[in-house]
Structure 1
Amino acid sequence: MTSSEPPLLSIHFKDHRIESIDGGIVEEGTKWILVAAVRGGARRNGHVLIRRKFIRKMVPVGKFTNLAANVVGSWPPAPLLGADGKTLELELNHGRLSLQGIAEHYPVLGFHYERRKGEGLVDGVLQLEDDDAALRFRIVTDEGRVRSGITTLDRSSLIALEIGSSRLSKLAAKMADSTREDETPAEEAPVVEAPAEVEIISATKAFEIKPSAYLVRLANFQDVPGIQALHRRGGYAPPSPRFLERVIADEDSLVVVAVDREESVVGWAKANYIPSSIADPAGYYLTGVRVDDDHRRNGLAREMAGARLSWLRRRTDTVFASVPAPNQPARHYLSSLGFREIPQEEAPVQPGNSVLLELTLDAGQAR
């Protein structure tokens, strides 16, 4: 990478409760900057318009080419394009940013706004801009349904605008499907016999599963309440809905759930890329598994591991895991999957009293 190419930045906000945004600057104005956003492992993920007054600092996080193994396209950051393939012109020097031109090409936008306890995020379809002080939009639910009521957001509280991310693209597709369903008379669904072997494909995520009394599949937004309920039944604090939605939508992470015949979530697990700013070494990690107490000893943890390793095998040849040293069941579980514990003198320093484990994948594993 030549010195003339822009660095990959981590953009931090004045309110420390707001998460930082990673990306590269496409265009700067006196009031706004346009950032080509990237997620774990420098994977492109749409654009974000950020209001300058909320930014505390922008920190280079390394050479993009060293992090961009999974990036499609080249650096520097790509401009914001419309559906016609032409660059959208933005007036970034004006505090009252006009969003109508963006909304014509991107049906669902993510509004990040300032609130008393940090940041809020709501997804919506922009309505006509007829007020210098307010934005009006209809909220889009996780199921892609557009609410009838109009929500008003004070323009001065708008921190950033998320555009064209994988999460919003999926919501837009669901919204289109919901619209078609509303326009088509309902018909009785045909009964289809379940196949003996199922392959689930969604974007770049694919894996095979074996037939059993349970189904292991990709998680979706509708599984969030079930995952939370699973934690509560075990006496644990559940992950927040926003966290779960973010990792489900992130193209560089995988979340799978195990469901019973009633489609109740009885287990879940995830894997994701962790950058060097968080983990040493950087790389893909198995980052958690939980099975309902009443459904243990049915092979669900191993089946979910197989799903995750199949997905990881398409992206890396080495997988890591880090667990507290006293957690012997977790260490035994990972060892049974083929992980080896890296001796303490060879391993990078781990947080607390943790053990680092490593698994080398090959073509014959995770099947």
Structure 2
Amino acid sequence: MSTNRVTATPRHERSLTQIKFNAEGDLLFSCSKDHIINVWYSHNGERLGTYEGNNGTVWTVDVDSESRFMVSGAADNTLRLWAVATGKCLYTWEFPTAVKRVAFKDDDSQIVCITEQRMGHQCAIRVFNINRDGDGTNQSKEPLHMFNPIGSKATVCAFTLTPNIIITGHESGKVALFNIKNGDEVDNNERAHGDVVTDLQMSKDSTYCITSSKDKSARIHDTKTLMVLKTFTTETPLNSAAIAPIKPYVLLGGGQEAMNVTTTSLRQGKFETRFWHKVFEEEVGRVKGHFGPINTIAVHPAGTAYASGGEDGFVRVHHFDESYFRAKPYGDLEIAD
């Protein structure tokens, strides 16, 4: 798999937890265990700015469609709303436990977040309305909706196209649909994965999503029926999975846990981004680069590049060369996005 230009941005002090392109793809946001969030120019890897103020690992980040607001969740038990342009923290919500996942709704009107199950507190999912009037500092302290998902705790989530329905991935490997208004589990696939779901990313039109898991597989699910459409099975635990627009590929990243890595060679460590054909479920390429497990992967919305964040503290941006777009591993097969 050919990527002609690699930008290894200056590293975070500690391992990456999530990276996210904005809607235009010109900015890349990264958060890490070093308590800070960085934003980079995606075309050259230059750091544009830093969002400081968290007192713990920043687990998760998302940005709205206008690149006006960014939201983050951290181990200091806070959910924060930031002004993308100035780096100012506009509002802070505080909870009893850490915020492990955040996601904007497509129309930017709401955010959903998952808080950790810990110290006698159940895992909770909260939905907040985002007031976009004025400078963004006037937000409601109380969630619009809050519920505790039954059974296994949720690890990842996203809004679906169906009003008031979110999709979640769980510690048990379950993938489920919840009604945010009453907290009811509308549907579930208990056996979607055999181990914790580590990532969930939606397709461009939100009709399907991809999940990755410690069970060494990634799966594409229909977001309405939860039917498993495709399965990609590897020999290494997966931390992240992304869907490439334009081309029929999915990108998978993971690797052995850091504590097991010292005894293995780089090759055995499997610290590569793996490209799989979305339809035929076959691996078509690998890109090396990280000196530790890949924790998070994001694809440029135009499909011209992808980024990976690793346990090694580096964010790597790979720009695809012409051969990537010309490659037809299965002949003249054209696949609609």
With the length of structure 1 as denominator, give the TM-score of the two structures. Answer: 0.27
Higher radius of gyration, 1 or 2: 1
**Counting helix residues as a fraction of each chain, which structure ranks higher?**
1
Which structure has more relative contact order (CA 8 Å, sep 6+)? It is 2
With the length of structure 2 as denominator, give the TM-score of the two structures. Answer: 0.29
**Counting strand residues as a fraction of each chain, which structure ranks higher?**
2
